Amino acid sequence: MKIAVCIKQVPARDWQPRVNESRTWVRDEDAAFEMNEPDAYALEEGLRLKGRHGGEVVVCSAGPSRVSHVIREALARGADRAIHVESDGAASADAFEVAGALAEAMSGESFDLVLTGLQSDDQGFAQTGVVLAERLGVPHATIIMEVKVDGGALRVKRELEGGWFQWVAMPLPALLTIQSGINQLRYATLKGIMAAKKKDIRKVAASGAHRSRQRIVNLYAPKKTKQTQLIGGTPAEAARELVKRLRDEARAID
């Protein structure tokens, strides 16, 4: 089975974003970057499917040259090769631009299965995978917690809201967006890191034919909707004051 896994490089979770001068994007020169967490689960699922059914896992990522770090990481974890869609704009682009560029680079490959994370930790569109499915002309399902492949058919467990699930069957080729926690992630071994150095990364220049349809015109710290009372002091002092306010003011404890 020929499996593609789309991964995005995003700023690390603990990074505190700063707004640029025109208030249209962030200044990320000082940011550390990492693989988008749901995409890491998608990669792991791809590697497990390859383990069961054979074939190859190809990681695909769109972004500036720094994206090569997460591509190497994916190769070190066990992906066979990679496609890097080179685009400086992809990091701040919308899902249409990214999915369009990925679809162009992936179209000649005839993948049986394409996996993406369900959304990204940066802009969180939750659209790229589904738009990519439409561009590739394949059926899809989102927020997947289990994947079963039997011959040319797929049966997947979709997460619904409020603790409900549903099995959905569809033919291959198909695209799935993977939920975090579907599996236990593996980490790269030293052997994997060494092997990754020899693996092929095909670089494709983004054609620029796909433009974003949404534009950030103002970026700012979210407005507070609540008056938060911050309680300071030593841990003991803060604890005493909090308990007092929860008893006397909020009446939340007896």
Site for another protein in 173-212 (CB under 8 A): 174, 179-181, 211-212
Q: Per DSSP, what are the bridge partners of residue 4?
A: 58, 114
CB-wise, 87 or 116, nearer to another protein? 116
For residues 11 and 14, give the distance between their C-alpha atoms in angstroms, rounded to a whole number: 8
Of 50-89, which residues contact another protein (CB under 8 A)?
A: none
Q: What does residue 251 show for φ and ψ, rounded to 5 degrees?
A: 50, 45
Query: Which residues from 99-158 bind another protein, rule CB under 8 A?
Result: 99, 121-127, 130-131, 133-135, 139-143, 158
DSSP strand pairing (113-117 vs 33-35): unpaired
What's the CA gap between 8 and 33, in Å, rounded?
10
Nearer residue to another protein within complex by CB, 65 or 214: 214
Kindly state the smallest distance separating residue 198's Cβ from another protein, in Å: 33
Torsion angle of C-alpha atoms 9, 14, 20, 25, degrees rounded to 10: 40
| CB closer to another protein, 193 vs 216 | 216
Smallest distance, another protein to C-beta of residue 86, A = 23
What is the Cβ-side half-sphere exposure of residue 246, based on CA atoms within 13 angstroms? 10
- Would you count residue 19 as binding another protein (CB under 8 A)? yes
Cβ 196 to another protein, closest distance in Å? Answer: 26
Residue 33 interacts with another protein (CB under 8 A): yes or no: no
| 32 contributes a contact to another protein by CB under 8 A | no
Q: HSE of 251 in the Cβ direction (CA atoms, 13 Å)?
A: 0
Size of the site for another protein (CB under 8 A): 79
Beta carbon nearer to another protein, 38 or 46:
38
* Sign for the pseudo-dihedral over CA of 69, 74, 76, 79: negative
CA distance 36 to 7: 7
Please answer whether residues 8 and 120 qualify as being in contact, where contact means their C-beta atoms are separated by less than 8 angstroms: yes
Residue 223 in contact with another protein, rule: CB under 8 A: yes
| Window contacting another protein (CB under 8 A); options: 48-56, 78-86, 189-197, 219-227 | 219-227
Shortest distance in whole angstroms from residue 239 CB to another protein: 4
In the complex, minimum distance from the CB of residue 223 to another protein, in angstroms, rounded to a whole number: 7
- For residues 14 and 108, which CB has a smaller minimum distance to another protein in the complex? 14
Do residues 95 and 127 touch, judged by C-beta distance below 8 A? Answer: yes
Q: Which amino acid is at 122?
A: D
